[in-house]
Amino acid sequence: MSFLRTEAKETLWRWREVILGAVLMLWGIWWLIGPGQLLTIPAIAMIAAGGALIWIGTQRARFRGPAGGVGAVEVDEGQITYLGPLTGGAVSLRELERLSLDASAQPAHWRLDQPGQDTLLIPVNAAGSDALFDAFATLPGLKTERMLHELRGRNPQAVVIWERTPLRPPHALLH
């Protein structure tokens, strides 16, 4: 028997890093104002770590969407693998040429282009897709805030999030 509804548990789990960071910050503040100057250095470290965890957790929570999509995603040693009911494939992060978000499909799909291979389309709500946040964060020059903005936006077109070698003139903007 559970005291929480399923939706409430899912929301708490989605924001788990933020909640843990807030608890860590409050614990650090309690130590800072509690026993005098005895625990000042560990308290300041806990407050800083809690703030960092809140920042990272907020970004991850914004990236995570509703679950229940088709297929499964696995990220292992710099390789993204998607196993779907009709399609699938693998892409190496080192050889990834372009990352796009295609919102014209329902649900929206991540589009990963690698030279010499078919384009890999991954639904944003596939099982294990929250691991893509850390994988995408390793791409050089990726703007995380822009990616999160496009993920929550309702642009009906495919939007290029990141490119290794731009196909456009240097003075033209991506968006």
What is the pTM assigned to this prediction? 0.77
What local confidence, expressed as pLDDT, does residue 10 receive?
Answer: 83
Q: To 5 degrees, how large is the angle CA 17–CA 68–CA 81?
A: 80
What local confidence, expressed as pLDDT, does residue 36 receive?
Answer: 72
Tell me if the bond preceding 115 is cis, omega within 30° of 0.
no
Domain positions in the chain: 6-63, 72-163
The neighbouring-strand residues paired with 80 are 75, 91
How do beta strands 98-102 and 72-76 pair? unpaired
Cα–Cα distance for residue pair 97/40, rounded to 1 Å: 48
Q: What is the pLDDT along the chain (175 residues), one digit of tens a residue?
A: 578 888 888 888 889 999 999 999 999 999 998 877 788 899 999 999 999 999 999 998 888 877 778 899 999 998 999 999 888 999 999 999 999 999 888 888 999 999 999 999 999 999 989 899 999 999 999 998 989 888 887 778 888 999 987 666 656 665 5
What local confidence, expressed as pLDDT, does residue 65 receive?
Answer: 76
Cα–Cα distance for residue pair 15/4, rounded to 1 Å: 15
